[in-house]
Each structure stands twice: as C-alpha cells, then as structure tokens.
Structure 1
Amino acid sequence: MSAESGEHEPQQHERGLAEPAFPGDDGRTAPELVPVLGDRDAVLAQLGAARVFVPIVAVLGERAANGGDKNADMAAVLMTGADGRQALLAFTSVATMEAWNPQARPVPVHGQAAAQSAVAEGASAIVLDLGQPHWQVVETDDLQHLAAGDVLARTATGTAWVRPGA
C-alpha cells in the first residue's frame, strides 16, 4: 500500500518462463550441418554443437486395473540391430523426421545431448537421418567423444578428437 494514497501498488515479481533452447527455430536443418551432410567427418565435427531432433513416440502401456483404457507413455526411439546393439534415432530437421514417421514429436536438442541420452539409455550408436540419402551411424568411440563434448578436428595427418579448453 502506498502510505499517501492508501492504494495498493503492484508488486514486482522476478518470475518468468524459461527461455527456449532454440528461439526462432523453424525446424529446418541447422545451418552448420547443411553444407556437410554426406561427409561423415565434417558432420561429426559439427554435430555436438548443432541442433538435431530426437523423435518421441507414444508407446502403449498396460490396461488399467479396472479393465479400462490402456495407458500411453512417450518415449525416445531406440532401434535394435541384428547384432542386438541399440541405437537412438536423431534427425537433422523436422522434415526428415516426418518422412520417417509423421506421428513422431520432434524434441530439439544439441547433438551432444542426444549422444549423452544414447549413452544413458545403453545404446551404442545414434542413427542420424534414417531413410535419407545422407544418413549415417555415429557409434562406439565417436558416440563417447560426442557425449563428452569433444570436437572432431582436421589435422595435417587426418582427424582427431580434441577436448575444448584442454
């Protein structure tokens, strides 16, 4: 209340919504990935910091105890190869993801976060842009390096994973 007028003054709150991780994102392939798609090493060099989409799909659960409707959960998609290893799916754009499955929901994340999720789920790879001409598999040591935040750099003798700031 204001001492002079007896009226209430509006209180100032420091509350607000979290800023989106990718403001203004239009769902197209991240600009840094566009010129390198199809070049395995160049994609790996850009992927950790680039925005990709991890598809989330509905998975039917168990029927309710009273015999009613089944529950549905949302889950990231893991593929299982013939050798039993699993891979997390990721896509460079909403369009490439929708070409794979129009019902999947796109979750935008940095490539490093996708790699960390794959590792946390026990997957040994990421399959990037499944069904596209430029699709590729990121596996084993490359997946571990991406998850750790390492960057693939070109050197005079080839490529090497380097840790920024090290």
Structure 2
Amino acid sequence: MGGLEHRSLAEPAFPGDDGQVDPALVPVLGDPWATLAQLGGARVFVPIVAVLGERAADGGDKNADMAAVLMTGADGRRALLAFSSVARLETWNPQARPVPVYGQAAAQSALAEGASALVLDLGQAHWQVVETDDLGHLAAGDALVRTEAGTAWVRPAT
C-alpha cells in the first residue's frame, strides 16, 4: 500500500443518503412559508453539469469544467438551482450530477455566485423561489418563525 494504510477519506456529510426528499421537507413542500422555515437545515441537491471549455492548443479535444447551474430571468437576475431529491433533479436534467448540501450552503453559494435567488424544484408542481432578504437570512442561518404580527427572521444566539 506504500504508506497509505493510515489514511482515510473524510466522513461524507450525508452518510447513507438515499437521495429521497429530506424528512424535514416531506410534510412542508407546497407550503412556501413552511418550506422556507425548514430549508436551511435540510439537505438539498445542487445540480452540477459539464461546461465545455476551449479547444486544446494542439487542436484536440475541448476541455470541460464542472459548474453549478445558474438561470437568468427575463429581468436579468440570476438564480441558483437546487432540488429536494435526486429524482426531481433527474426529471429536470438526467445528465446533471447531484451534489448534496444543506439549504443554508446552497443559499450561501447562490450569493457567492452573484445570484439574487435560489430556485427549489424547478419544473415540479410545487417549485419555489427564495430571493432578496429571505435568501440572505437563509444564508446567514437565521430561523423563520411565526409571530402574532406575522413571520419574522430571528438570528440564533451565538
């Protein structure tokens, strides 16, 4: 083994994940408020696709990079795609590679890529857009709660 006997791979973030909808999202999909309240701590899948690059200098094959998928709306704003299950992602694009992340990490990635929204389950019956202040609060790890006056984002104590 050449000295590799003591090395180990890092533990996967979602061991035993079967690609189904995260149990926290199962009862709330279709209810925009409840979905948003659960999304930060739930596992979702961000699609990664191959993007053709430049042709090699010798005229050979083009290289390819892997990239998360951003959509651009008619108004020019961009959104990162995420899906609640592998099956829903594959319905959208069977060639996309599903990368499991927490909803909070997906929101952080959207903001890091200059997107102003996160679209959950595009093309499904209960797809949802998380944008503007909600996207920022989701990325920050804030909790969405109901109050007598309506809903509010609350920053957990540190």
TM-score bin (small chain): over 0.9
Please report how far the alpha carbon of residue 15 of structure 1 lies from its aligned counterpart in structure 2 after TM superposition.
Answer: 3.8
TM-score norm. by structure 2 comes to 0.95
Gap runs ≥5 in structure 1: 1-10
Counterpart CA distance in 2 for 1:66 and 1:24 is: 44
**Aligned match of 2:79:** 87
Aligned to 1:7: none
Separation in 1 of the partners of 2:106 and 2:65? Answer: 20
Of 127, 135, 145, 1:135 maps to 127
Deviates more, 1:144-153 or 1:14-23: 14-23
Matched, 1:104 2:123: no
Structure 2 unmatched ranges of 5 or more: none
Q: 2:98 is aligned with what amino acid? A: P
**Which of 132, 140, 143 is residue 148 of structure 1 equivalent to?**
140
- Percent identity, aligned pairs only, is 81
Q: Deviations over 1:63-100 (max 9, x none)?
A: 00111000111000000001111000000000000000
The one-letter code matched in structure 2 to 1:78 is L
User: TM-score scaled by structure 1?
Assistant: 0.90
Deviation, structure 1 residue 14: 6.1
Partner of 1:51: 43
Cα RMSD between the aligned structures? Answer: 1.3
Choose the corresponding residue for 1:73, options 50, 65, 69. 65
Distance in structure 2 (CA, Å) of the matches to 1:59 and 1:127: 20
Question: Helix, strand or coil for the counterpart of 1:131?
Answer: coil
Task: Give the ranges of 4+ consecutive aligned residues of structure 1 lying more than 6 Å apart after TM superposition.
Answer: none
Give 1:43's aligned amino acid. Answer: T
> Are 1:19 and 2:15 counterparts?
no
